[in-house]
Structure 1
């Protein structure tokens, strides 16, 4: 995402507290937003990590800049340097980018899981390429993934390409090259441009930015597979179906539901091929492939995310919380529910406990408030963990009634 999309980036920053589920004793979490004390105690209570054994540094807002730059502007570099001098310290960024590598150099750290900062820097060319829509199409075609018909073009060419595509397809999708979560996508039908109507398009990435125009796929499900590549090879972590609204991510359920489970093999093949490609260009760490399942059952590769995604940390949380329980292969989901009135974190958690919905470590099932209290007190991000998919749906329905979620 380009930094001139400041409002969207500020919204996404509100999800940073979920990284608290990764904390182990001695860890430091550097966050663009504060973590509530009650939330941190709730997390450490479930993970068994003494809250006094971890450090959380909330960086004051300074506008849409890389977090490393915000740290410097806030005068926090010396404090982080002192913490970074602890034996065994490494940097675990959400995404491997130039800013993260530069910050690691400043602090004298390596970037997990690379042996040296130079090794991490060598992978930047590939992460930059594959975190764009155009770059993914280029590599996906080489790896023989099935793609919707499409074309990469500059902003001045978009209007003409859209009209050309509408001569072949009833609808098209227009995607900014650098975007995530569905931000900036447009869906255009033939009738929308009748009579020579102008194509209104947000200027994302500048007036000469890169865009992708694709045929519209009649989507039955949006799915993804998340993997990790290391020196030992690439392995599948999990797969599932995304909940979306007009192409924007709103939630996730894992494993793949029966309606789209037939695409699991092809998804895995694509992910493993991409993992080998990434490893061959020096990348190590988590990544994902998003895809669309059409109403005729075919699956089309959509994009790649060469970073920790919106589901990577929740999956790590689920794995951690169910370890040692009777739930050997948990089913889980993440969603957002909108309450009719605002709640504080303590009030929301109390309601879960009163209704016997709160996650039970002994059973390995229940509801987790995984991302702290929302600023509006109403838009609650939560995870449901159960022994099977039917259980996830049951917990979700009970939660909706207990919290009096509004229908969306």
Structure 2
């Protein structure tokens, strides 16, 4: 299909690509972000979502993107437990409805995660999988996609491609404590990672003190009783950074880079472009990303991917993982690009984060506060605050994006936003 053909935007956050399906609670939590996929919609597109999308939010998205509301369709899939979205669609009896909406228009499935269930769903409905020419081509890339979304698979590929890595070892669960003790002989602290995890889920930080006096290493259920784990030295981290790229038949190109906001190793937000404190890592990140892109293309993968890295106190970057999928920053970046096209802001800086309001707002109330304080995104200037993921269920935990001409302007607007919505700690 061409880029102008219709998409079935498939918000399959419940997927075994990034985290084992046994981790149902965290997957359900991530699925609450599905409304942000509305920013990808064009006339004629269909959005299949595992959570409801508010009418006010959808109207807000369509107003800012210029897409007539009546030209897009949203299919809300009822909860079906910790199962892939494709199965939930079938369980709800909605597969034929989606097939009818896609019609005979050369539509393509645009999944959040390229997994086996999404590929089978596309095949059943007679769709291709964007950006692959055929379903078979997408299926051929699945083995590499699944492997490079694991910590162990990434370490092996990164070593082969010449990336700098933290000292570490891959082991089975039963061997983990022994490996931890060995690495602690040379390092003050280590981080223990389940092989298939994302966003910092399941990470465990262990120091020498933690294992003194006969103490043992307690691991949770992530990865299962026989799962694979990675143990690495815990760096003295000054910045957590990433670069996002895409690989196509014409080659790999960098899309954007930035600094991740984290708490205890978990992703909490993002700022792009890279701040001055780690801007000199940009060239190395791009070299690593280009090398990984060539490797992925050689194994049939096409589409978006990212490389995460840790910058230590000496300014040295260490590759930490790859995300061979759409990530928490891919859709916000697409939104920023779309909203600033033709505006005076030619190279926008932007951030995404979550702030917790002291009292709840509905969507209209939160948007009204932004407008009252002169913070709401203005298409004419290409700057402002976007409520990019609908109203939170608690009315308080607001996901937002800030778009401005520089990172300094982004920071200034974030401070003002904290006051406008009365964020805790603001």
TM-score band w.r.t. shorter chain: over 0.9
Structure 1 position 84, deviation (Å):
2.2
Stretches (4+) displaced over 4 A: none
Deviation larger for 86-95 or 153-162? 86-95
Distance in 2, Cα, partners of 1:352 & 1:84: 37
Cα distance in 2 for partners of 1:354, 1:213 equals 50
Where in structure 2 are the equivalents of 1:107-126 lying within 5 Å? 107-126=125-144
Paired residues for 1:145-156 under 5 Å = 145-156=163-174
Q: Normalization by structure 2: what TM-score?
A: 0.95
Report how far residue 86 of structure 1 moved. Answer: 3.4
Once the two structures are superposed, residues 135-155 of structure 1 have per-residue CA deviations (whole angstroms, 9 ceiling, x without a partner) of 000000000000000101111
1:367-391 alpha-carbon deviations (Å, 9 max, x no partner)? 0000000011110000000011111
Partner secondary structure for residue 74 of structure 2: strand
Which residue pairs with 1:235 in the alignment? 253
1:333 match: 351
3-state secondary structure, aligned to 1:251: strand
* Aligned: 1:226 with 2:244: yes
**Secondary structure at 2:157 match in 1:** helix
> 2 CA distance for matches of 1:208 and 1:407?
42
- TM normalised by structure 1 equals 0.99
Partner of 1:389: 407
Unpaired segments ≥5 residues, structure 1: none
1:81-121, CA deviations, whole angstroms, 9 ceiling, x for partnerless residues?
11222312110001111111101100011100111111000
| 1:296 to partner: Cα distance | 0.7
CA deviations on 1:329-363 (whole Å, 9 max, x unpaired) are 00000010000011100100000011110000000
* Structure 2 equivalent of residue 398 of structure 1: 416
For structure 2, list consecutive stretches of 5 or more residues without a partner in the other structure: 1-18
Q: CA offsets, 1:54-99, max 9 Å, x none?
A: 0000100010000000000000011011122231211000111111
Give the Cα separation in 1 of the matches to 2:316 and 2:104. Answer: 51
Counterpart-to-counterpart distance in 1, 2:328 and 2:357: 22
SS state at 2:401 partner: strand
Partners in 2 of 1:338 and 1:245 — Cα distance? 15
What is the deviation of 1:288?
0.3
CA distance in 2 between partners of 1:387 and 1:184 (Å): 36
1:210 counterpart = 2:228: yes
Could you say which residue in structure 2 is the equivalent of 1:135? 153
- Pairwise CA RMSD: 0.7
Q: Confirm or deny that 1:298 pairs with 2:316.
A: yes
1:312 pairs, out of 330, 355, 380, with 330
Structure 1 residue 62 corresponds to structure 2 residue 41: no
Partners of 2:336 and 2:249 lie apart in 1 by 25
Moved more, 198-207 or 34-43: 198-207
CA distance in 2, matches of 1:230, 1:171: 40
3-state SS in 2 of match to 1:91: strand
Residues of 2 paired with 1:187 and 1:407: CA distance?
A: 26
2:60 aligned partner: 42
Query: Secondary structure of the equivalent of 2:128?
Result: coil
Query: Match for 1:252 among 270, 278, 294?
Result: 270
Query: C-alpha separation between the residues in 1 aligned to 2:233 and 2:348?
Result: 36
Q: What is the aligned length? A: 408
In 2: Cα distance, 1:99 partner to 1:275 partner: 24
